[in-house]
Amino acid sequence: MTVSFVQISDCHLFSDRQACHHDANVYDNLVKVLIEIKNNQSIDFIVFTGDLTQDHSDGAYQLFTEAIKRYGPNKPVYYLAGNHDELAKFCQFFTDDVFCHEKTIDLAHWQIQLINTKSATPAGVFSAEEAARLAESINPVKYQCILMHHHPKHVGYFIDKHPLVNPEFFNQFLAKYDNIQAIACGHVHNAMTLSLDVNDIPLFTCPATSIQFDKTAATLVNSHLPAGYRLFTIDTNNVLTTEAVFLS
């Protein structure tokens, strides 16, 4: 049986649905992405990998939940916090049945693991507590795909000021498992395919629903590429493939 799921990330919503982030109406972009996902009948679930809000307002969380329910595909939505988010706000607003609070998605031959990298700063941390939780969750006889917000390897532009700050500890954890097949993250506002130093595990970054960053700029500049998301497919041979999808 084929399984398909999408990763959406970095919505950066305001309480005002007309508000723009670096010249982009980020609410409209999110709605358009959700409608495109809804039109794909093969999607089984969605994973949101953080940075829901830009203005840190209750209104932004409310708009996100309303958009998911009104324009989304009525499929389970799993989620992680980004550096802009507050976990307590997720608990407050993600009360509809469409939102799933589990951090391990169990499939027949795969597990999709969601890990928390939020810290007290814009950078990320893979904590000892999260490592212990993940170790308890990993089924050694199933393939593993890990989703997170922060990038565990530098991508070569300004967002590297706010990466996962302890990648050595993360890599040491990964090295204990030969069944981890892929890592996916948000945060970098671009679609890239990299390779980690551990077991050549591929790292897939997710295009943002808000804006894509200009990789040549020294600070945050909108590249004016379209909003997007990442599509994952696990085929009947248990092979995982992925592609970045941008709005036309």
The pLDDT of residue 111? 98
The pLDDT of residue 14? 98
Average pLDDT for consecutive 10-residue bins of the chain (248 residues)? 97 97 97 97 97 98 98 97 96 97 98 97 97 98 98 98 98 97 98 95 98 96 97 97 96
The pLDDT of residue 91? 95
Q: Which amino acid is at 141?
A: V
The pLDDT of residue 1? 86
Separation between Cα atoms, residue 104 and residue 146, nearest integer Å: 9
The pLDDT of residue 248? 87
Q: Which amino acid is at 96?
A: D
The pLDDT of residue 174? 98
CA distances from 128 to 28, 116, 243 (A): 38, 11, 32
Separation between Cα atoms, residue 206 and residue 92, nearest integer Å: 26
